[in-house]
Amino acid sequence: MEEIIKKVIECAAMVYEVDESEITPETDIREDLSAQSIKVIAFVGGLEEAFGVVIDFAEAGELITIADFANKVKEMM
């Protein structure tokens, strides 16, 4: 699971243009990074590409933290 979280943080850092050190599993992607829906869509797309999964955008809208996204990726793998 640690490797998944690391990769999710890498994807978030790239999409939201912040340093990986600023992102933790508890980081709220909308509150702490950006509420712009285009950023969330790009983040989900990056996760799908990185992990070879498909995350429904309606489900993604319910995910809040980096850990939530990592758990969803793990569930989809």
List pLDDT tens digits, range 31-66: 999 878 899 999 999 999 999 999 998 999 999 999
pLDDT of 4: 97
Can you give the pLDDT at residue 37? Answer: 87
Residue 14, SS3 per DSSP: helix
For the residues 58-75, what does the mean pLDDT come to? 95
Question: What does the pLDDT look like over 16-35, one tens digit per residue?
Answer: 999 999 999 999 999 999 87
Domain residue extents for the chain:
2-76
| Domain 2-76 of CATH type 1.10.1200.10 | yes
Average pLDDT over residues 67-72: 98
Q: What is the pTM of this model?
A: 0.93
